[in-house]
Structures are given as C-alpha cells and as structure tokens.
A and B are shown apart, each in its own frame.
Chain A
C-alpha cells in the first residue's frame, strides 16, 4: 500500500516535470494551427419574413338568377367564403337566398296558393370542395392579361324551402378572373339538387343558379 502510493506520487512528479516545460515551450514557440477553444453552439435561426401577407382566404358577394323548379326564375343573391389550400384545391362555403315565384298552376287557377309568403323564401347553404381545373390567363384589350381559372365545385348543404329543410347536393362550375392582385370576379353556374314531395309525389328537383360575383383575397 505504502509502496503503491509512493510509485503514484513519483510518477505524478515525473509526468508534471515533462509536461510543464512542454506546454511552456509550445506557448513560446511558433503558433499552432489555431485550436478551436469554444465550439460555436449557435444554431442558425430560421427566418420567416415578417409582414409577408398570406392571402389564402377569399370572401365576397354574388347576385344572379336562380330557376327554382316549378316556381319560375327569381333573383338570387348571397355570399361566399373560400380558403385556398393549394393552387389547385380550395374549400368553399356559400349561402344564398331568393324569393320563389308562382307555379303555372297557381297562375292559371287564379286563387289557389300552394305556399305562404314566408314559405316561398328559398335559402340555401353548402360546403364544397373546389378544383381549379383550367388555370390560365384572359386578355382584356391589347395590354391587360389577367390570371384566371375555370373551376369545378362539389358539395353538400341544405335548402330551406316550402317550410322544410332539404339535403342538397351542389354541383358547380365557374370562372374566376383576378382583376388585380386581390380582387377577383366570378361567373358561376351551380345546380342545387334536392328531393321534395311538395307537389304530391317525391321527386328530385334541379335548381340552376347563374351568378356574377366579386370577391377579395385576404
């Protein structure tokens, strides 16, 4: 034990005697290839440009006509809001209303009213998925080219008409033209199809809607 301790101490002294002058010599001599004393631990920060305006939402109003099956054509108006996921795919919520006219039967018979005034209000909403199938540009005059897209939408929703809510399948096609970077003009054709038994037997009605709309991206 005693001997081991002595060997340890001795070897410590010998080691120190060799290394200290060596270090001193190194410090005094030619500079070594700059040792990296501190490893840089600073991770590069990712910079998302501040203030870059992401404009994937689109909202606006539309007006046009709707042909309500058996009840003639009426003025239709409403609003839409859309979110563009990619340049190809978007989701859209639409709400619209119109006042239905009279059936031919009501006109001819003169008196018999099928629906009350409030029941003639035709209000519909739908949630749709849209696909910008044909993107492109339209040319206005000789100097202006505006980005455009022909799109198709498919969705489901509800129509309140004749005192009842009807499950509605909305199938649409439209043209969107960007007037500038953030205002778009829409021409839309949609078919709102739902089943109703209003006139006796149950049947699927197709209600075609043609509208002109203006939206803003934000």
Chain B
C-alpha cells in the first residue's frame, strides 16, 4: 500500500486519494450477485456470490462497485444489485444514484459552454445552484476568441426555469459581469478594455438523461463603456450540463 502511494505521488502528485479503504462487509439478499471482470455492462460475468454470503465493498467507479468475497475472488457489481444487500446490522445499503426526481430536485449544475459572441468564438465553463427547482443562481467564465480581438467574459446572474419537470423547458435570465477585450495589435484602437456589462437572455434546456441536460441560450449584453455610448452585443451559446 505504502509503495503504491509513493509511486502515485511520484507519478502524478496525487498522493492520498487512492487508498482503497474497505467499508465493511455486506450480506447478499438477491438470489445471487453477479461479479463482472470490469466496471461496465459489457464485461463478462465470471463469478456469482450466493444469497447469504457476505462481500466486502472495495471501491466505486461511476455505477460499478468492486467487491471481494471471503474467498478472495473480486469483481465489479452494479450499484442496483448492491442496493438489495444488508449491512451486518440488518440495514439496507444505500448507494447514491440519480433518479427521475433528480431532474427537478438537484442542487448543482456544471457545464461546458461554446458558442459565439459578435463574431468571436466562446469557450468556457458554467455553474449553477438551484435555490428552488425553478430559480437558479448562475455563474460562468468564458474565453472569447475573435478575428479582431480576444478577451474574457465572466458573469453572475439568476435564471427562471419555467417548467423544470418538462423534458424541454424554456428559461429566462438576467445578470451582470465583466468583459475584458484585448484588440489585436493591427487595429486602430489598440487599448485593452475592461468594462462592466449586464445581460438579459432566454433559452431552452432539455434533459438527455437523469444526469445530463443540453442547454441553448441567447443573451443580449449591454456593455457600459467609458465612451459616450453603451455598446449592445449578442451572444448565443450551447452547453452540455451535468447536474447532481
């Protein structure tokens, strides 16, 4: 174990996280438990553990848990089968998993964003906290890459999701942030600018599964420039969002 950790530390500088701590035995309640050779539905079942036998839970990767039988045989079992096992105290084992309720009752969202802003390409990340299923507090950061200028955009805001229980729901949002623009050297106006900005937007979001959704959004920004006129710019984005 120590040697493995040292190797890990040397390799990657991620020292402690790999300590595979066992979590005590659980007793099988299903007629049998199917042990697969790898953490996936395609891997072959090579061993079964009978009802009443106890197995030790070793580690979890996505929906698969590696278990070890008393005889030393170890393999990967799907979460759903382990939920019908009991601890030695006779209590059911629970392993967190997404359900249909997760769509409306989740608290957090993280996503990858791409799109366009006034001819510049947008690439960034976004996060949201669902205060209620319909009211979300959002923040995002994006790099802007254009032909004439590059920059960064960071915003915080709130969004109202009209029908979070629908498969596809519209939403609206408002917010504000900071826009940093760095014109390319060949332009007439080569000063870097940092301006505050505010936006109003609307979009559509649709659930792909109980964990993912796809979101498309249009926002209109007003940039409060130091010049006489404010500037209005449009942004459209699509994002791939994971919620939990």
Whether A206 sits at the interface, judged by CB under 8 Å, is no
Binds B, one of A30-38, A82-90, A97-105: A82-90
By the criterion CB–CB under 8 Å, are A147 and B23 in contact? no
User: Are B123 and A157 in touch, CB under 8 angstroms?
Assistant: yes
| Interchain CB contact (< 8 A) of A181 among B22, B57, B59, B96 | B59
* Interface status of A135 (Cβ within 8 A of chain B): yes
Contacts of A41 in B (CB 8 A): none
Within the complex, which residue of A59, A87, A129, A167 is in contact with B40, where a contact is CB–CB below 8 Å? A87
Bound together, the chains give a CA A156 to CA B238 distance in angstroms of 12
Q: How far is the CB of B145 from chain A (nearest CB, A)?
A: 4
CA distance A160 to B89 in the complex (A): 59
Main secondary structure of the interface of A (DSSP, over half): strand
Cross-chain contact A147 with B112 (CB below 8 angstroms): no
Contact (A87, B41) CB under 8 Å given A127-B125, A216-B18 = yes
Report Cα–Cα, A167/B122, bound state, in Å: 8
Nearest A residue to B94 via CB reads A46
The answer for the CA separation of A91 and B26 in the assembled complex, in Å, is 32
Whether A166 touches B145, Cβ cut-off 8 Å, given contacts A46-B94, A156-B123, is yes
- Report yes or no: B92 in contact with A47, Cβ–Cβ below 8 A: yes
Known A-B contacts A147-B37, A158-B123; A85 and B11 likewise in contact (beta carbons under 8 Å): no
A19 close to chain B: CB less than 8 A:
no
Chain A hits for B114, CB < 8 A = 156
- In Å, the complex CA distance between A46 and B97 comes to 13
B202 close to A (CB within 8 Å): no
A56 to B79: give the CA distance in the assembly, Å.
14
A3 within 8 A of B: no
Check if A21 is an interface residue, CB within 8 A of chain B.
no
User: For this complex, into which size category does the number of interface residues on chain B fall?
Assistant: 35 or more
What distance in Å separates the Cβ of B16 from its nearest Cβ neighbour in chain A? 9
Instruction: Determine whether B150 belongs to the interface, using a CB cutoff of 8 Å to chain A.
Output: yes
**B61-69, B101-109, B131-139, B220-228 - interface stretch:** B61-69
Q: Which of B61, B121, B125 contacts A84 (CB 8 A)?
A: B61
Min distance, Cβ A124 to any Cβ of chain B, angstroms: 12
Closest A residue to B86 by CB, please name it. A47
A6 at the interface (CB under 8 A from B): no
Q: With A48-B96, A147-B37 given, is the CB distance from A165 to B145 under 8 Å?
A: yes
B8 touches A216 (CB 8 A): yes
User: Known: A127-B123, A156-B121. Is A137-B212 also a contact (CB below 8 A)?
Assistant: no
* Chain B positions within 8 Å of A89 at CB level: 212
A-side contacts of B14, CB under 8 Å:
59, 216, 218
- Determine the chain B residues whose CB is within 8 A of the CB of A127 once the complex forms: 112, 123, 125
CB contact between A87 and one of B22, B57, B64, B120 (< 8 Å): that residue: B64
Count chain A CB atoms within 10 A of each CB in B8, B66, B145 and give the residue with the most.
Answer: B145
Q: Chain A, 114-127, contact with B by CB distance < 8 Å: what is the 0/1 string?
A: 00000000000011
Please tell me if the beta carbons of B121 and A167 are within 8 angstroms of each other in the complex: yes
Q: Decide if B84 is an interface residue (CB 8 Å cutoff).
A: no
Q: Which residues of A contact B120 (CB under 8 A)?
A: 167
Find chain A residues with CB under 8 A from B41 CB: 87
- Give the residue of B37, B57, B143, B242 whose beta carbon is less than 8 angstroms from that of A52: B57
